[in-house]
Amino acid sequence: MMIDVLSEFYTNHYNLGIIAIFMLLVAAFIGSKKNFKGVVVVLSIFLVYNLVLYNKTKRDPYWLEKIQDKATAYDPVKELWNEKPADDDVNKRK
């Protein structure tokens, strides 16, 4: 069921769960100002957000970990300066 999958996902990735909670708080705030069209817009964004997370998690439960691993493995300084590993520089000096 969707609720079970998302609750398990949000307990492991609470940063994305905070975004969902923030959307609900924004909808409540907009609703308190009697802007019901805004509430419909925010709740529809909330629904789409959860559906996308559910579909990605249903296909591959570790999709976010793969993205995070790829992001942490990327070294922008090495790309900018075309650096070689430190061992190569030491060997050239000898």
Per-residue pLDDT at 41: 97
d(C-alpha 13, C-alpha 9), whole Å = 6
Answering whether pTM is above 0.85, one says no
Q: Do 6 and 56 meet the contact criterion of CB atoms below 8 Å apart? A: no
Polymer length of the chain:
94
At residue 85, the pLDDT reads 59
**Rounded Cα gap, residues 76 and 35, in angstroms:** 44
Ordered mean pLDDT values, 10 residues apiece, the chain (94 residues): 92 93 97 96 97 94 92 84 64 57
